[in-house]
Structure 1
Amino acid sequence: MAAWVFSVPFALLLVFVKTSFVPLDSFDRGVTLDMHEDALENPGYTAFLRVATEVFGPWTWRVMVVLVALWLWRRGSRRLAVWAVATITFGGLLNLALKEIVDRARPDLPDPVASAPGASFPSGHAMGAALGACILMLILLPSLRSRAARIVAWAAAAAVVAFVAYSRVALGVHWTSDVVAGVTLGVAFVTGTAAGYETWRRGEGRRPVVAPEEGIEPEAFQGTDQG
């Protein structure tokens, strides 16, 4: 159900972008031009954004997920490790495929403050952050014992994803709809693979879990060998 909640806005944005929906195009252009003016007026902050957006770029998330997956594998949580690597890998490939299919041009601005290769929709940075943050949260949630700690962790993860999305628009390398599409598709993809993982859990006779509250495999922090 949650996967559909995030899939619907992505699907609508995809249709609007492919049909050059005028209200969306006008909104995107207006926001981008306003942010571009701010970027030109604040070179120091713009320089910070250029560094930060790459620090939280797709490869950072891939490396973190792979490192956590290796740790899980050594602990015996091998199916969880495979889920993590498969989710971020196939999520990234889906992003690349959609970029090729949609082939949306990036903003073409006077005096650009940053550049990026390839097509614009959906944002790879935004989707990569959403994929990575959600995967890591669903793995590590069982290590957070209190509800308050889990809420804070989710809030921090959401803030990082939102910052990455904002940075891409502020630097003029993406439209707002690109980053919204990237985030919603990333969350939908992780939610969908997590639902598949939960189906496997129940088929194995494991107790059902509420993934956003407990993570997708609480036993990973209880020394349970998943084979």
Structure 2
Amino acid sequence: MHGPTHAPPPARPRTANSPASAARWLWTALALGTATLTVILLVEAGWRPLLRVDGDVAGLLHAHALANPAWTGTNRVLTDWVWDPVTMRILVGVAAVWVWLRGERLLAVWCVATAALGVGVQQGLKALLDRERPQWQQPVDSAHFAAMPSGHAMTAAVACVLVLWLVQRSGAGQALRATVLALVCISVAGVCLTRIVLGVHWLTDTVVGAMLGIALASASAGLWISLENRKAAEPARTPADD
């Protein structure tokens, strides 16, 4: 008669807070950070094919904006109210409050700090690169300070990716995660489009802003998960250890 057999322990599920998840976030940050630096260096070097694309896209969308006032007005509403940097910072604030109320107060502060760091990086790069914005005889909108990176695009990317990460790590269902992911993609791509349509940014300004924002938020998520896993792996202290 055979003795009792024991089934092997189930494999640990891959969750949004696992080491594998941290690695994905960090690799995403590295890849996009490298791509961002490449685009910036090409623009600064005056690489003609890229600058030609900038000019062609800006000219085409500006002509369309002049010919379609209703379309231009819609883009102005989207850029000034829906995807405005203030709106995006409020979104991060609401998400931070939600996390705080769930009992993760340090994480709430971490998210706010990430958004604040994004503003600092954005303003620092603008001052460093000092790229001129497009100039038009018939402008449909106006903006100030340097062009690269787009503040609207970077702020939206940071905020949306942070919210996506928080929803994923909360254990939300697949339908909700997919919905949030779709909204993130629409928002980041949409804000980039509005800034070019309104003639206040070149295509590469928005691409750099979006990629840099996603990279920053991804690095923040990956670092947090890594620190969280390292803390969980530490042996618990007992009174005898003191």
TM-score bracket for the superposition, by shorter chain length: 0.7 to 0.9
Aligned equivalents of 1:157 and 1:33: distance in 2?
A: 27
Q: After the TM superposition, which residues 192-211 of structure 1 pair with which residues of structure 2 at under 5 Å, given as runs?
A: 192-205=219-232
How many angstroms apart in 2 are the aligned matches of 1:181 and 1:158? 16
1:113 corresponds, among 96, 119, 140, to 140
The one-letter code sitting in structure 2 at the alignment partner of 1:20 is G
What amino acid maps onto 2:58 in structure 1? T
What letter corresponds to residue 53 of structure 2 in structure 1? Answer: F
- Where structure 1 has 5 or more consecutive residues not aligned to the other structure, the ranges are 207-227
Q: Which residue number corresponds to residue 101 of structure 1?
A: 128
Residue 224 of structure 1: aligned partner = none
Distance 1:93 1:132, change over 3 A: same
1:150 equivalenced with 2:177 (yes/no) = yes
Q: CA deviation at 1:31?
A: 0.5
Bigger Cα Rg:
2
* 1:9, distance to aligned residue in structure 2 (A): 1.5
Query: Residues of 2 paired with 1:144 and 1:205: CA distance?
Result: 18
What residue number does 2:32 align with?
A: 6
Establish whether residue 50 from structure 1 lines up as the match of residue 76 from structure 2: yes
What does the per-residue CA deviation read over 1:50-100, in whole Å, with 9 as the maximum and x for residues that have no partner? 111011111111112112212322332111101110111001110000000
Tell me if the contact between 1:144 and 1:150 (Cα under 8 Å) persists in the aligned partners.
no
Q: Which residue of 1 aligns with 2:193?
A: 166
TM-score (norm 2): 0.81
**Ranges in structure 2 where 5+ consecutive residues have no aligned partner:** 1-26, 234-242
Are 1:86 and 2:80 an aligned pair? Answer: no
Please tell me whether the aligned partners of residues 157 and 210 of structure 2 are also in contact (alpha carbons under 8 angstroms): yes
Shift of 1:148: 3.8
Deviation at 1:17, TM superposition (A): 1.5
Deviation string 1:100-125 (CA, Å, 9 cap, x unpaired) is: 00000000012000000100001000
The yes-or-no answer on 1:26 pairing with 2:40 is no
Structure 1 segments of 4+ aligned residues over 4 angstroms from their partners: none
**Pair 1:180–1:152, CA change in 2 (3 A):** same
SS in 1 for 2:232: coil
* Shift in CA distance, 48/144, structure 1 to aligned 2, threshold 3 Å: farther
Shift of 1:204: 1.4
Secondary structure of 2:135's partner? coil
Which residue of 1 is the match for residue 67 of structure 2? Answer: 41
Letter paired with 1:115? S
Question: For the Cα contact (< 8 Å) 2:126–2:148, is it kept in 1?
Answer: yes
RMSD: 1.4
8 Å contact from structure 1 (residues 10, 181) kept in 2: yes
% of aligned pairs identical? 35
Amino acid at match of 2:80: E
C-alpha contact (below 8 Å) 2:150/2:208 kept by paired residues: yes
- Contact 2:167/2:177 (CA < 8 Å) preserved in 1? no
Distance 1:68 1:116, change over 3 A: same
* 8 Å contact from structure 2 (residues 118, 158) kept in 1: yes
Cα shift readout 1:163-192 (whole Å, capped 9, x = no counterpart): 001000011000000000001000100111
Partner of 1:128: 155
Q: Distance in 2 between matches of 1:4 and 1:123?
A: 20
Query: 1:190 and 2:206 equivalent?
Result: no
**TM-score, normalised by the number of residues in structure 1:** 0.87
Deviation at 1:144, TM superposition (A): 6.0
